[in-house]
Chains A and B, each alone.
Chain A
Amino acid sequence: MRKGIWIALLAALAAGPTAAQELPFHGFVEAAAASRVANDDTTADDMLLEEARFQVDLIHEVDAATMEFRADFLHDGVVGESQLDVREANIVLTPLESLDLKIGRQVLTWGTGDLIFLNDLFPKDWQSFFIGRDDEYLKKPSDAVRASWYGEALNLDVAWMPVFEADGFISGERISYWNPLAGRRFGPDDPAIDPDNPDRSLGNGSVAARLYGTLGGWETALYAYRGHWGQPKGFDPAADRAYFPRLEAWGASARGAVLGGIAATEFAWYRSLDDRGGNDPAIPNSQLRWLGSFSHEIARDQTLGLQAYLERAVQYPDVGLTDQNRWWLTARYTGLFLQQNLTLSLFAFYSPTEDDAYLRPKMGYKVSDEVLVTLGGNVFLGAHDDTFFGQFEDNTNVYARVRYSF
């Protein structure tokens, strides 16, 4: 496996920048590895990531349309498989002057949070996020039709995803986790989550909408979503299986320039449709989510971003599984040095209600225009095994990536 990575990388390096400029497509080759630093008693294997990737990106433009195809060919050494991960395969049409249609596989993002999502209910890949892949892979692509209408003062986005696409959730396949029902941790030697996916029928698709515009210098938006929870948070005792309960969400956000920085706030009301009364402990409660954030340039080429986030169970059932309120405070520092070739960053989550934390230190150095070396870590800290970040404590890892872009 490791040989494969180096052959791919060397081949790309040997091709050289001159040859790369003449290629009819762009992309990168990347080798990446991550290892646990703590001993995890759910597995003997410390490697969380061991892969080689080759991404190609093709854009074709004609008068009436733009087509894009972007895909990763990868060899994943941890599971010993080669895969094709199509990130984008879509066509953008403009049937009316004020209407764009993007049809096909695409990455969808909206909302104001930094690594915290309220009204962005598009699929995420949390496993990739925790094992040191590039931030790009936190977003999973959707097979969707996105219609964007642009008016004088207001714009409307509607995204329809006919087939449910689950998050890349923590299943125990790589990252071990705490199972509250079993009262113990599960990991790679014995992954326990094999959820029941919704049938691939039109009724199980999801729809997300955003109405947005600028009001007095503030970028404001209203959001709506109907679909499923992205993670198998429900448990069906009859089938003895986890499943993806239905979800409806409504929300709003505003973002603007304040005190020399950028301030934003976002709100969402999650209606857990399979448990409207909030009585079933096996299905997530309806929630109110709130986010406030401020980011500011603290020195030349150095930025600090702060966020406060609250998740509140609406009809709190006192069954002892979760607290009614979960607070997160986050801080992101980013500094650019050496003519912006060196990036140092730290993203920290801290939960005062759960008494746990998650740190993402990262260093990226651009050796040349083509070669980027990234070193980083995912550090989980917690006093208890059953809190959100605390459960991952033994998965604390360091990673390294080398990417050659062309």
Chain B
Amino acid sequence: MKRFAIAAALSLLVLPAIRAQALSVDEIVQKANLASYYAGDDGMARAKLVIYDKQGRTREREFTILRKDKEDGGEQLYYVYFHRPGDVRKTVFMVHKYIDRDDDRWLYLPALDLVKRIAASDKRTSFVGSHFFYEDVSGRSPADDTHTLKEETDRYYVLDNVPKDPSTVEFTHYLVWIDKTTFLPMKAEYYDSQRRVYRRMEVLEVKEIQGIPTVTQAKMSDLNTGGYTEMTFKKVEYNKGIPDRIFTERYLRKPPRKYIRRR
């Protein structure tokens, strides 16, 4: 009897909680999108990419990335200043990301003092030679896929995502494991037309920074070539109050000393 009372009491506590967590698929997708790409009002980090090829040879990229959200889930501004390797040092890559049209992208080449506008509509191309795509860094629009909840485990929502326009992507669908407490996608597997997984993203480390669960280490593998890239974020800071004007031509020519330390 006593046991029953405890069970009943527990169920009273637990059941409403479970019901509250019975999120729709769209809600899960929106929360995951915000958690992974819109943390804080702005953010900055020092990122390091180590690119491994099949033979184990490595290449490295190091950059400082600044991000500002115009609105959660909406337009964003990105500024990427390269520290390494030497041949791209001081190069700046800037993106004004839109939801309903192609992003605007600029590249600043310091040796020529040249502000180049880049014609790049394909977001599924390698980001600086790594196994991550542009879309993995700045986010794939949730509206580009049809999402279904494939499975719910103790820790994850497993979503299946089918592209609405298959001609624009190289996968047929992909599965994402979304952490039920942080809403961070912890793993993603991309399937080719033979229903084989050929590309995999794994989160290796999550840290809480200023109260915000943050991916600080992730790995992207190309299972066809055997190559992979590890991305590590250091010095992550949120809500720095980065002004909009940082994301303009002025600061391509004059990297903002307040946020970017160069030597």
> Chain A residues with Cβ under 8 A from B129's Cβ?
339-341
CB nearest neighbor in A for B170: A300
Residue of B53, B87, B128, B262 with highest tally of chain A CB at under 10 A: B87
State the Cβ distance, A292 to closest chain B Cβ, in Å. 15
When the two chains form their complex, are residues A26 and B119 in contact, meaning their CB atoms are under 8 A apart? no
> Chain A residues with Cβ under 8 A from B245's Cβ?
150
Known: A108-B113, A135-B112. A262 touches B118 (CB 8 A): yes
Is A197 engaged at the interface, CB distance under 8 Å to the other chain?
no
Is A41 engaged at the interface, CB distance under 8 Å to the other chain?
no
When the two chains form their complex, are residues B119 and A66 in contact, meaning their CB atoms are under 8 A apart? no
> Chain A residues with Cβ under 8 A from B87's Cβ?
28, 366, 369, 372, 403, 405
When the two chains form their complex, are residues B263 and A24 in contact, meaning their CB atoms are under 8 A apart? yes
Is B30 engaged at the interface, CB distance under 8 Å to the other chain?
no
Binds B, one of A239-247, A253-261, A318-326, A355-363: A253-261
When the two chains form their complex, are residues A297 and B120 in contact, meaning their CB atoms are under 8 A apart? yes
When the two chains form their complex, are residues A92 and B254 in contact, meaning their CB atoms are under 8 A apart? yes
CB nearest neighbor in A for B117: A262
State the Cβ distance, A97 to closest chain B Cβ, in Å. 10
Restricting to B230-253, which residues have a CB under 8 Å from any CB of A? 245, 248-250, 253
Is B56 engaged at the interface, CB distance under 8 Å to the other chain?
no
When the two chains form their complex, are residues B86 and A339 in contact, meaning their CB atoms are under 8 A apart? no
CB nearest neighbor in B for A340: B129
Is A303 engaged at the interface, CB distance under 8 Å to the other chain?
yes
Interface range, B side: 35 or more
Is B102 engaged at the interface, CB distance under 8 Å to the other chain?
yes
Is B126 engaged at the interface, CB distance under 8 Å to the other chain?
yes
Is B104 engaged at the interface, CB distance under 8 Å to the other chain?
yes
Restricting to A18-62, which residues have a CB under 8 Å from any CB of B? 20, 24, 26-28, 59, 61
Is A206 engaged at the interface, CB distance under 8 Å to the other chain?
no
Choose among B86, B115, B128, B248 the residue that contacts A405 (Cβ–Cβ < 8 A): B86
Is A155 engaged at the interface, CB distance under 8 Å to the other chain?
yes
Number of A-B pairs, beta carbon distance below 8 Å: 100
When the two chains form their complex, are residues B85 and A369 in contact, meaning their CB atoms are under 8 A apart? yes
Tell me if A's interface is mostly helix, strand, loop or mixed: strand
Is B89 engaged at the interface, CB distance under 8 Å to the other chain?
yes
> Chain B residues with Cβ under 8 A from A148's Cβ?
250, 253
State the Cβ distance, B46 to closest chain A Cβ, in Å. 15
Choose among B60, B84, B117 the residue that contacts A219 (Cβ–Cβ < 8 A): B117
Is B122 engaged at the interface, CB distance under 8 Å to the other chain?
yes
> Chain B residues with Cβ under 8 A from A26's Cβ?
86, 89
> Chain A residues with Cβ under 8 A from B104's Cβ?
257
> Chain A residues with Cβ under 8 A from B227's Cβ?
339
Restricting to A287-340, which residues have a CB under 8 Å from any CB of B? 295-297, 300-301, 303, 305, 336, 339-340
Is B164 engaged at the interface, CB distance under 8 Å to the other chain?
no
The CA of A106 and the CA of B104, in the complex, are separated in Å by 28
Choose among A24, A262, A300 the residue that contacts B122 (Cβ–Cβ < 8 A): A300
> Chain A residues with Cβ under 8 A from B262's Cβ?
59, 61
The CA of A379 and the CA of B78, in the complex, are separated in Å by 40
Q: Mark B105-119, 1 if CB is under 8 A from A, else 0.
A: 000000111110111
Is A136 engaged at the interface, CB distance under 8 Å to the other chain?
yes
CB nearest neighbor in B for A403: B87
Residue of B53, B86, B101, B126 with highest tally of chain A CB at under 10 A: B86
The CA of A8 and the CA of B175, in the complex, are separated in Å by 52
Known: A59-B262, A255-B117. A136 touches B89 (CB 8 A): no
